[in-house]
Amino acid sequence: MKLFKRVLVSVLRRKTCTLILLLLTFLIGNVMAVSIAIQQSSKGIEENLLNRIGGKVLLKSPITDQNQIYALSDEDYEKAWKEFIDSYENLSSKEKVSYADIHYHYNSIQLLDSEKYDLNNKHYENGSYLHGVDSLVFTDEKEELLTLNKGSYFTKEMLDDGWDVMIISDQVTRDQVPFQIGDRIDFSLILTAYDPAQSQTVSVYEKVISYEIVGIYQQIDNKYSDIQNDLELFYVPNQNLVKYEQFAKDFFSKSNMEPNRDRLWIESCMFRVHSLLDLPVFKNTVLNEIEDKQINFYTSEDSVEGLLGTIKTLSSLSENVLWFSMGAMCIAVALVTFYFVKERKHEIGIYLSLGMDKKELLIQIVFETLFVGLLGIILSIGSQKYLSQSFSDYLVETMIRYEDTEKDKFVTNHHVLNPDHLTHEDIVSQYEVHIQGQDLILLLILGSCTLIISCLLPLGYIVILKPKNIMLE
């Protein structure tokens, strides 16, 4: 009790020393608090994004890019296709995989009288109207992008045999009339070949395909983005597209024409693991599977990394600032405390001459430093909430000017790895810096450790002091 009384009396009596130390720890404490708040807020938004997207892996190869497949020879195309499908089947059977899906596309099948349909045209700029699926329950429903509200999903027989059936959005209409279960939509398989006489590609065969509507789905609006979910796809069995591509192959094999045949390509191939904890292990499994193959892969972590961009940079910068501020506090407090201890050496000499134990005196100096220093840090907590957001906003705006936020455009824009269509700007605009209870505890612990370390210099000075020499001065 006497120790704490002496500490309090000493702090109150030396107002200049106390105010300087208080101001010093208050200013540096603000920097530390802001740095911790930025780091913890960045980690929080990263965890939220990963939990929303989930643990996903997306495979990519030349056959997943409709522009690249035309640069492949028939032999290379068949080899790439087999490698990809084999890898998909091997990986989808792994224990860590919750579900997997693969979507085929075939551009030679076109919608007849498309002008009569109310469609979101941006989905059909590549000419691919039909979206192949290979699962009894759509992945897009599991990803909370749609829900089936009429009819049913494809049966196993429909998927395996490639029936002429489809599931459409309730937003799609023909002549402004909604579709019903059992209605049919006509598509045309258009085969083209090069005509030397005309020096151009011409249509050589057309076959009308009438798809029966067996299901109608409703789109689910995004929960984490202001961008409206405009998913308007014509879902058909993958094997239906395989069937008509094989029909085109057989047609040209019986003719002498030079085909300008569209190739089957894969729009996406995705695996979702049971939890984020399974993702690192499954990534290693994927690496082993695709070794020596022309296959790349991306994960939900890559998507989050691309979306966060500036915020990750800001978090890294704030970590460096935190360590720098702790070092600055350690040096500054050590020098200030050492200076005032030297100013008090006669007082210290009297204490020691009167029989005070050096250990007790050392503890008193540490407690004085901790009392004033922690008071300054606690006061800084109140002001940091005003500084954190404005400081981070300034840094974010500065870094955006110089940072290439489009470098991961494929990963961040892909609907599988970013189902809510979030953009870099969405993340930055929603970024809020705030300090929580556990952050305050971390700040006080780091501050206390720094203050104790800063006492080493003045404590060392006290240890070597000799009361007799002091009193003779």
Residues 33 and 124 in one domain: no
CB-based burial label for 150 (10 Å; 0-12, 13-18, 19+): middle
Residues 151 and 251 in one domain: yes
Contact assessment for residue 325 and residue 391, using Cβ atoms and an 8 Å cutoff: no
Residues 314 and 372 in one domain: yes
Residues 173 and 205 in one domain: yes
Give the residue from 139, 162, 2, 156 showing the smallest Cα distance to 58. 139
Residues 83 and 45 in one domain: no
Residues 30 and 157 in one domain: no
Residues 107 and 31 in one domain: no
Q: How many residues does the chain have?
A: 473
Residue 316 DSSP class: H
What is the extent of the structural domain holding 188? 57-298
How many angstroms separate the CA atoms of 157 and 225, rounded?
38
The answer to the question of residue 36 being in a domain is yes
Residues 282 and 180 in one domain: yes
CA 351 to chain centre: 61
How many angstroms separate the CA atoms of 74 and 71, rounded?
10
How many angstroms separate the CA atoms of 388 and 445, rounded?
20
Residue 166 forms beta bridges with which residues?
213
The answer to the question of residue 249 being in a domain is yes
Tens-level pLDDT at each residue, the chain (473 residues): 577 777 777 777 777 777 888 888 888 888 887 787 777 777 777 777 777 778 889 888 888 877 788 778 888 888 889 999 999 999 999 999 998 989 898 888 988 887 787 776 544 444 457 889 988 888 888 877 788 899 999 999 999 999 999 999 888 888 888 899 999 999 999 888 877 777 777 888 899 999 999 999 988 765 544 444 445 678 999 999 999 999 988 888 887 777 776 788 887 888 999 988 899 999 999 999 998 888 888 888 887 777 676 667 777 777 888 888 888 888 888 888 877 777 777 777 777 777 777 778 788 888 888 888 888 888 887 776 666 656 666 655 555 454 544 445 555 555 566 666 666 565 665 566 666 777 778 888 888 888 888 888 777 777 776 665 555 55
Q: In what order do the strands lie in the sheet with 117-118?
A: 117-118, 173-174, 177-178
Angle between helices 456-464 and 310-343 (to 10 degrees): 20
Last residue of a domain, one of 298, 329, 346: 298
The answer to the question of residue 303 being in a domain is no
Residues 114 and 234 in one domain: yes
Give the residue from 472, 453, 466 showing the smallest Cα distance to 348. 466
Residues 133 and 78 in one domain: yes
Last residue of a domain, one of 264, 298, 332: 298
**What's the number of domains the chain is made of?**
2
The answer to the question of residue 305 being in a domain is no
Last residue of a domain, one of 245, 274, 298: 298
The answer to the question of residue 193 being in a domain is yes
Residues 25 and 111 in one domain: no
Residues 34 and 71 in one domain: no
Contact assessment for residue 413 and residue 58, using Cβ atoms and an 8 Å cutoff: no
Phi, psi angle pair for 371, to nearest 5°: -60, -50
